[in-house]
Chains A and B, each alone.
Chain A
Amino acid sequence: MNHLLTTEGLERETLENLLTDADEFAEVLTRPIPKVPALRGKTVATMFFEPSTRTRMSFEKAAKALSADTMSFSPGTSSLSKGESLKDTALTVHAMGVDLMVVRHGATGTPWRLAEWLDIPIVNGGDGAHQHPTQALLDCLTIKQRFGSLDGLEIAIVGDIKHSRVARSDMFAMATLGANVTLVAPPTLLPVDTTRWPAATSTDLDAVMEKMDVVYLLRVQTERGGGSVFPSLPEYTNRYGMTSARFARLKPDAVVMHPGPMNRGVEIGHDVADYERALVLQQVTNGVAARMAVLFALLGGDSDV
């Protein structure tokens, strides 16, 4: 593995190796000194052309826990506002001596362009509505810790499938690891053609939720025009929200997940988010371990992962 750009087409063995390593890094994070010297002397740059709190902080924490140095870039305060192109910006940062770049950009495919321009590993931190592979890894890690394996699990991904890079990334990774994935959304938020995806689709959460082991709720992206594709937020909650009434109908060991930031009272009930079977904060904790596994695989000199 030279880059981590997408979960589509990743080998099962690669995913499983990353998850196994992530489990060991999760143990490191529980130590009194949660830091190992594995990537001492390496520099990781986070290039986030879109706003992000948790993903960027999570990558920085992961790099620091591996003793790598970090540099960060945010468009508001950079030369981008002076008209510098993406390529020149990337080449400039690269020229300072960077060993790996994490990129988030609103345009689909940006990480692939950077991977062509630069001769260092690139990690996709989210490109448009396309892919967010480290999110998929941390989600699979969280499920694996809870259930032991993803093999045969029934997983519903609920919400704005059409505009969600989380849905795409998670679906491919979960299916590769043996889960049965169902995408649940209002008709307007399902892609027109999903026949080539390794997932079933449904427009009726109530009809499918009772057999689910995991219900993964996507954020209603109000900033991406969520309001214009369904009648109203209460209408969405009424049909697709994980209210406490719906939660009570889930299988007794089923869990609820959410990539954050949550709109409490919209896609997830105010109280549901705080239940023991809502794994939202474990997902955040696991994000650091999963990203450590990715950074170590790309910079740690291993060709097998």
Chain B
Amino acid sequence: MRQVMDGDDLTRVTRRIAHEIVERNHGLDATVLLGIPTRGRPFADRLASALSEIEGKAVIAGSLDIGMYRDDIDTRPRTRIGPTDIPEDLDGKTVVLADDVLFTGRTIRAALDALADLGRPAAVQLAVVVDRGHRELPIRADYVGKNIPTSLEEHVSVRFREIDGDDGVWIGKEAAS
């Protein structure tokens, strides 16, 4: 595996995206941050703490699991269902979804379906650590940590200390760890 971002890079990217979120939404008054488990969750938590520093008030992130909304349950083994935890009413809010890697876009498609069942946000935005291309659906990210061109055979691994023990982004030919 080849490392393309280290822990400091990850921190800088998180801070920059936090600033972009505040700038674009003119503050955070009507903004809800939701991480997509598993690794969207620590990303959302870190964005939340960066946002708290910038705005000087507590920002809480929630989780939005997509295990019940996948369209490929017959073609590959599913991962376990993760927690869905919505910190506040979503109606009329701007929801910022956070995930580690944007790839085919199918996870985000499922997340949009899940959101529609939970409320009616005024707008939905997407923040990702890595955009690796190869979209299969008309979906794009609003906030991107790093664009990394990849081949389909490659695997992109974003690691968070909370889950994986260390921080950074790696690319390799090996299968998912």
Interface set of A (CB-CB < 8 Å, partner B): 17, 20-21, 24, 27-28, 31, 33, 35-39, 66, 296, 299-304
A296→B65 CA distance, assembly (Å): 15
Q: Is B118 an interface residue (CB 8 A)?
A: yes
Q: Show 20 A/B contacts (Cβ-Cβ < 8 Å), sorted by A.
A: A20-B80, A21-B80, A24-B65, A24-B81, A24-B83, A24-B84, A27-B84, A31-B117, A31-B118, A37-B68, A38-B67, A38-B73, A296-B68, A300-B78, A301-B74, A301-B75, A301-B78, A302-B80, A303-B77, A304-B80
With CB as the reference atom, state the residue of chain A lying closest to B85.
A27
A39→B67 CA distance, assembly (Å): 11
* Contacting residue for A36 out of B68, B75, B82, CB 8 A: B68
A41 CB to nearest B CB, Å: 9
Q: Is B20 an interface residue (CB 8 A)?
A: no
A230 CB to nearest B CB, Å: 45
In the complex, chain A residues whose CB is within 8 Å of the CB of B113? 37
* Contacting residue for B117 out of A35, A66, A300, A304, CB 8 A: A35
**CB pair B80 A17 closer than 8 Å:** yes
B93 CB to nearest A CB, Å: 16
B59-118 residues with Cβ-Cβ distance < 8 A to A are 65, 67-70, 73-78, 80-84, 113-114, 117-118
In the complex, chain B residues whose CB is within 8 Å of the CB of A301? 73-78
Taking residues whose C-beta sits less than 8 angstroms from the other chain, chain B's interface range is 20 to 34
Q: Is the interface of A mostly helix, strand, loop or mixed?
A: loop
A299→B68 CA distance, assembly (Å): 12
With CB as the reference atom, state the residue of chain B lying closest to A41.
B74
**Most chain A CB within a 10 A radius of its CB, from B73, B77, B82, B83:** B73
* Contacting residue for A21 out of B69, B73, B77, B81, CB 8 A: B81
* Contacting residue for A304 out of B69, B70, B77, CB 8 A: B77
**CB pair A38 B80 closer than 8 Å:** no
A303→B77 CA distance, assembly (Å): 7
Question: Given that A24-B65, A24-B84, A28-B68 are contacting pairs, would A36 and B76 also be in contact in the complex, using a CB cutoff of 8 Å?
Answer: no
**CB pair A302 B83 closer than 8 Å:** no
Q: 6 tightest A-B contacts by CB?
A: A36-B68, A38-B68, A301-B73, A302-B78, A24-B81, A33-B117
In the complex, chain B residues whose CB is within 8 Å of the CB of A302? 77-78, 80
A35→B69 CA distance, assembly (Å): 11
With CB as the reference atom, state the residue of chain B lying closest to A293.
B81
A302→B72 CA distance, assembly (Å): 11
A35→B75 CA distance, assembly (Å): 22
With CB as the reference atom, state the residue of chain B lying closest to A301.
B73
**CB pair A36 B69 closer than 8 Å:** yes
A297 CB to nearest B CB, Å: 10
**Most chain B CB within a 10 A radius of its CB, from A21, A35, A301, A303:** A301
B116 CB to nearest A CB, Å: 9
In the complex, chain B residues whose CB is within 8 Å of the CB of A36? 68-69, 114, 117
A272→B82 CA distance, assembly (Å): 37
A161 CB to nearest B CB, Å: 35
A137 CB to nearest B CB, Å: 15
A275 CB to nearest B CB, Å: 31
In the complex, chain A residues whose CB is within 8 Å of the CB of B114? 36
With CB as the reference atom, state the residue of chain A lying closest to B84.
A27
In the complex, chain A residues whose CB is within 8 Å of the CB of B70? 38
* Contacting residue for B69 out of A27, A38, A299, CB 8 A: A38
A186 CB to nearest B CB, Å: 43
A53 CB to nearest B CB, Å: 27
A17→B81 CA distance, assembly (Å): 9
**CB pair B80 A300 closer than 8 Å:** no
With CB as the reference atom, state the residue of chain B lying closest to A36.
B68
**CB pair B78 A37 closer than 8 Å:** no
